Each structure stands twice: as C-alpha cells, then as structure tokens.
Amino acid sequence: MSEQNGRQPGRTYDQATYAVSEDENEPLLSDKKTETVEPHGDLPDDLTRDELTFPTLAESEIARHYTRLSQMNWSIESGSYPLGSCTMKYNPPYTEDIAAEPNAAVHPDRPAASIQGTLEMLAGLQDYLGRIGGMDAVTLQPPAGAAGEFTGIAIARAYHRDNGEDRTEVLIPSSAHGTNFATAALAGYDVVELPSADDGRVDIEALEAAVGDDTAALMLTNPNTVGLFERDIQEVADLVHDAGGLLYYDGANLNALLGRARPADMGFDIMHYNVHKTFATPHGGGGPGAGPVGVVEELAPYLPNPQVEEGDDGYELVDTDGAIENVHGYQGNWLVLVKTYAYIARLGDEGLTDASAKAVLNANYLAEQVDLEVPYGPFHHEFAATSGDTAAADVAKRMLDFGVHPPTTNWPEMVPEAMLTEPTEVENRADLDNLAAAFNNAIASTEEERHDAPHRTASRRIDQTDAARNPRLSWQALDDEQ
C-alpha cells in the first residue's frame, strides 16, 4: 500500500485532495455568510433581542458543509473500527428503522393492559438473552454495560447478606476489563487482583491462594482480553463455588461465543450483556446504552423489580420480595432494546453462530498478516500484538495516514506496547488486508514519520492528556481561548 493509495481498495486518494492543514479547518456556517435581521413578533420586549444574526447560505452550501464535517470524522460506515475489547460493530439501519416506527413510541408507564405488545417484546428479549447465556432470569433495567456490572455485583452482595455473610473481597484477574475494578470498588468491596499465568490465562495457583471466606465473587470474561479462552474455567468455577463465592461473567467478549458456548454452562452465576458489543446497537456517543443482566435460578429473586412475565390474562409486571433497588425503569432504554431484539430475531440461531465464527476467523487471519509479534494464541475475537521497542501510540497515529482507524493501544498492560485489535465479523478479506497493510506500513515508517504522525488528518496530533483534563466542548470555546 502506498501513502497515496492507502484508504480503501480500489479508491485513489491524492494527498492534496484530502489533506487538511491546521489552519484550514471547516469554518462555522456563521463565519461564511450571515445576515442581520431585526426580530419582530408578539413576544414581550424582555424576551427579545435588538437584532439576530443568521447564516444565509444556499442549501447546496449547507449540505456540503455538513458532508465535509462528516468526512473529517471516522465511523464504522467509513471503514474498519478495530478497537480491541470495544467491539465496534456495524449497526444495521434496519434496526434503526424498526425503533423509529410510530408504534414503538409507547410510554412505558401506561397500564400493562394497554401495552401488551411492548411487554411481549420485553419478555421475548428476556427469553432470547436467557437462552443465549444459559441464564434462568434476566432484567433489562441497566442502561449501560457498566450499570449492568454494578447491578450484577449488587445482586451478589444481596445474596450473601441474605445468607448472613459479610464477604468483603472481589477477585479480578489482571486480564479483566478496567470497569470490573471500578465496579467492585464502587459496590464497597476490596479488590484483589490476580496475576495472569505465563500462557495469558488465569493463574490457578494464585486463585487458590486468594479465594476464601471473604470472597464475594470472581469477575471474569471468557475469552479474556487477549482473546484467549479460559480452558480451566470449570476448575476456576469449582474453586470459587467451593469457597462460597459467585462467578460473574463480564459479557464484553460474548461475541466470540454466540451459538457455541454459554456462560452458565461454564459455571457462571451472573452475567451482563453488552448489547452494543454483541447485538449491534449504537455504541458510546451513538446513543444511550443497555446492559441487561442474567442470573441463575437461585439468584432470580434478587433481580430489580418488576419483571415482565406472561400470566393467565396476558403479560404483567411482577415484583419479588428480595429484589435489589431499581437501577432504572423496568423497561431499560426501551428503543435500544428494540434494536437488540430486532438484531437477534433477524439473525436467529444460525446467523448468531455464523457471526461468532467469522469474528474468530477474522481475528486470527489478521494476526497472521501483521508484521508484529503477537504473544499467545490462537485467538478468539481479538488479539494483542506488541510493537516492541516502538511506541504503540506512534504506530497508531501513523496508521491514520494510511486511511484506517488504529486499534486500542497500551492495554492490556500484560502485553508491553500493546495494540489490542478486534476486526469483528463484518470485515471482508480485502478490508483485513488493507488494515494489515496499514499496520505494516506504519511499522516500516521512519521514527520521525511515526513521531510526527498523523500528517493527513483534519487535526494533527493533539495533547491527549490535556484534552481529557481540559475538554473544549464547543468550537466557540476553543476559538475564545485562542
């Protein structure tokens, strides 16, 4: 791949065509052409201004303005989004169309008798998710994956308290997601971090030494964050259960197991589902989230009230006495769940199984194509390459010059200069080859080229620490500061 032809196969990009210098960012509409008018109408004087300034541009100018802005950003419609662990899946528009149906705009607090269709769909989704995870009961309340984690650990806490136990610790492997540590601490537990064994999996001897009467739960994702299946999962489950603890499944990596393995069958008692990572609902800034939680039968009474169940006279909302406090309305983020239901219903068993197969195949194929050391393997849905003596951040920034989005960098910490990569099932072979070429060209670049990259994006390299600590949340805020 040459620098002049590195964005997508079959498409040519001349540097002069798409490069944007630091002083040539797209101006605001009001900076292009405006007209000042005097307000008129029947509003009181204290609610009006003496004059207003409006952009006055042709429709074609406005359309081009917003098109240029969109081209300065990256999205899953632009190309691969291989952020490892984040699972940036393509969001099919048909789920958006279904969520936009007028019949979906039903207020959830209407009497149950008047929203039977809504309740039927919620009950159906609970059933879908329960069967996919092997869980006996599911709540749709949590409005995000992190909220799902907190709900799951709150259920574990309520369960132990009902048993008269004051357990104080949650065990978390070093290969776990960062939110696991935060969730356990927020729930009031002491966090005990478990080291990984040489093969990248849970260190069984370390687990044996750590687990005990104080253990409330072990939080684990399987496959783990470097894409490895925990082959000793049943031994892990036995060790935790024999100590009276619960096994919590972080659903972040469920995309690798769809239709092939179920967390409950491995011994997990509680799990949350990241519907954006597994069932293609919007992720992050794309809209509100959803993080349903499933549990085995023994823990079902602790799910937050109410549950949607089918009764003799239709679907109804049922309360239990042992439920934890609510984390959201019973219907969760309703329209996100509509999209989840639509995705699962359309793919069905065969489609979900095919998605996981292709996610695993794509990750292993891409790992073979990159000119980087890839510890461990074979993988499931993602892999963690190392850039060795070269800063992973520099490689990632240089990849932007070749028209692709780079992977997650410098995490997990168990891999030095990690480049955690997850192509998902949506990429074809040409896309994977294009991504591999960007990796390899970035590695083959000179140190100076990498250090100064990116060269051809709308914005050059920013101070990421300053951006996180002192965000400028509008164009005007940055303009005023300058």
DSSP string, 203-258: -HHHHHHH-STTEEEEEE-SS-TTS---TTHHHHHHHHHHTT-EEEEEGGGGGGTT
Residue 137 sits in a domain of what CATH number? Answer: 3.40.640.10
147: nearest Cα among 268, 245, 288: 288
pLDDT at 10 exceeding the cut of 50: no
- φ, ψ of residue 34 to 5 degrees: the values are -135, 165
198 inside domain: yes
DSSP class of residue 372 equals S
Name the residue range of residue 318's domain.
93-346
pTM for the whole structure: 0.89
The whole-angstrom separation of Cα 55 and Cα 365 is: 50
pLDDT at residue 287 in the model: 62
- pLDDT at res. 421: 98
* Percent of the chain scoring above 90 in pLDDT: 76
Domain count, the chain: 1
Residue 301 within any structural domain of the chain: yes
User: Which residues are registered as beta bridge partners of 373?
Assistant: 386
Higher pLDDT: 323 or 284? It is 323
Provide mean pLDDT across the span 39-55.
83
pLDDT digits (tens, 9 = 90+) for 335-364: 999 999 999 999 999 999 999 999 999 999
- pLDDT at residue 9 greater than cutoff 50: no
In a domain, 80, yes or no: no
Query: pLDDT class for 286, splitting at 50, 70, 90?
Result: low
Residue 226 in any domain: the answer is: yes
| pLDDT tens column, 257-273 | 999 999 999 999 999 99
Written as six digits, the tokens of 414 are: 């168990």
In a domain, residue 462? The reply is: no
Assigned domain for 77 exists? no
pLDDT recorded at residue 22: 43
Q: Is residue 240 part of a domain?
A: yes
Q: Are 292 and 332 in contact (CB under 8 A)?
A: yes
Q: Cβ(136)–Cβ(266) under 8 Å?
A: no
- So what's the pLDDT on residue 464? 85
pLDDT for the residue 367: 97
Q: Is residue 477's pLDDT more than 90? A: no
Given a contact cutoff of 8 angstroms between Cβ atoms, the answer to whether 263 and 131 are in contact is no
- Rounded Cα distance between 265 and 285, Å, is 34
- What are the pLDDT digits (tens) for 369-427? 999 999 998 999 999 999 999 999 999 999 999 999 999 999 998 999 999 999 999 99
User: Locate tokens 């996610």: which residue?
Assistant: 359
Strands, E assignment, 269-380: 270-272, 293-295, 307-311, 314-318
Mean pLDDT computed over 11-34: 58
Looking at the domain assignment, is residue 227 inside a domain? yes
Amino acid at 328: H
DSSP at 103: G
Judge whether residue 174 has pLDDT over 80: yes
Amino acid making up residue 65: H
73-117 pLDDT tens trace = 888 888 999 999 999 999 999 999 999 999 898 887 889 999 999
